[in-house]
Amino acid sequence: MEEALLQIKDLSIVYETPLGTIHATTGVTFDVKRGESVGLVGESGSGKSTVGLAIAMALPPNARILNGRVLYEGTDLLRLKEEERKRYSGREISIVFQDPAATLNPLFTIGEQMTDVLMSNLGLTKEEALNRARDFLKKAGLPDSERILRSFPHELSGGMLQRVNIAIATSTEPKILVADEPTTMLDVMLQAQILELFDKLKRELKLTLIFITHNLGVASEICDRIIVMYAGTVVEDGPADEVISRPMHPYTASLLDCVPRTHIKAKRLRSIPGSLPDLSKPLVGCPFADRCGEAKDVCRQTKPDLVEIAPGHRVSCFKYKR
């Protein structure tokens, strides 16, 4: 059996806020194989971005790890000292964020920012870094690389800025690329182009992709496997085609109902009634029980285990209790 490139084991993370302690993830566990595209899907507050930040070693200062490990080729990234972390962050594992403008420094040109990343991470000379920057801008669909390198972030459109960020993140040829809602701020046409770009770069650079999104439809276009998260926990994990065609957790089915369908005329988009539970309080039972039309008494009293009900397909729901 192929050994996983990345292993998330029992990951529990909280955020300390003025309103109290927020339990962002609780006992999250999954593996990622080399070359796999894995989608982390769920509503805002589901914990998917927190998992992505933990993988990329980019958790904010108010995050606190209660338990768990993030193993990359056997090395626990969460236990690394600052100097050790620099060997992995940006070189072995890179991240593309949701807001491309916020990621870039408005005071420096794209060329200055790209060469700085390449010189510090790969030890290149300035000339070598510029040549590599030109190459990866072209790979990212920006053929006019000389103009881009001379430009400041405010001189480029949102779609171009996201391509620049993708070029920066992939220019070090990392083994793992975390993409945190990279298409959310783009229109539908640009979104499709960026998804195609991720797919192309994944194949060309042999990337392992962690793609974070709230949209199951988007995840199905680019991911081999989909992990559905709710209230900081994994509720379903399986092959993308199975999760989309035969969702087994009621929350997954509800998310699919919210995906717009162009062939169906409807007065308004569907939504999931209710809201996420209060993550500042301990969760009792299944976290989705209060929003689930199939919930029974046991669902409100005991949290169901995440069990494999088909090869490679895990679900946390009492409907499948063995």
pLDDT bucket at 50, cuts 50 / 70 / 90: very high
Average pLDDT over residues 78-102: 91
pLDDT given for residue 313 in this prediction: 96
- Per-residue model confidence (pLDDT) at position 265: 46
- Residue 264: the pLDDT is 43
pLDDT attached to residue 321: 66
Identify the sign of the CA torsion 311, 236, 252, 48: negative
Lowest mean per-residue pLDDT among 147-156, 196-205, 274-283: 274-283
Q: Interior CA angle at 294 toward 293 and 296, to 5°?
A: 120
Strands, DSSP E only, in the chain?
A: 6-17, 20-32, 37-41, 63-72, 75-76, 93-96, 176-180, 208-213, 225-230, 233-239, 307-310, 313-315
Q: Is residue 210 scored above 50 in pLDDT?
A: yes
Flag the least confident range among 27-31, 42-46, 257-261, 288-292: 257-261
The verdict on pTM exceeding 0.85 is: yes
Q: CA of 41: how far to CAs of 178, 233, 246, 266, in Å? A: 13, 11, 16, 24
Do strands 93-96 and 176-180 pair parallel, antiparallel, or not at all (unpaired)? parallel
Instruction: Tell me, rounded to whole angstroms, the distance of Cα 68 from its chain centroid.
Output: 18
Residues 6 or more apart whose CB falls under 8 angstroms from that of 3 comprise none
Give me 137's structure tokens.
Answer: 């801008």
pLDDT at 261: 58
Element (H, E) at 298: helix 297-301
* Statement: residue 20 has pLDDT above 70: yes
Q: How confident is the model at residue 199 (pLDDT cuts 50, 70, 90)?
A: very high
pLDDT exceeds 80 at position 217: yes
In the predicted model, is pLDDT for residue 108 greater than 50? yes
Quickly name the fold that domain 2-91+173-261+268-313 has: Rossmann fold (3.40.50)
pLDDT of residue 16: 96
**What is the tens place of the pLDDT at every residue in 36-47?**
999 999 999 999
Q: For residue 200, name the pLDDT band (cuts at 50, 70, 90).
A: very high
- At residue 307, the pLDDT reads 94
Question: What's the distance, CA 64 to chain centroid?
Answer: 19
More confident call, 51 vs 82: 51
Domain positions in the chain are 2-91+173-261+268-313, 100-172
Model confidence at 122: pLDDT above 90: yes
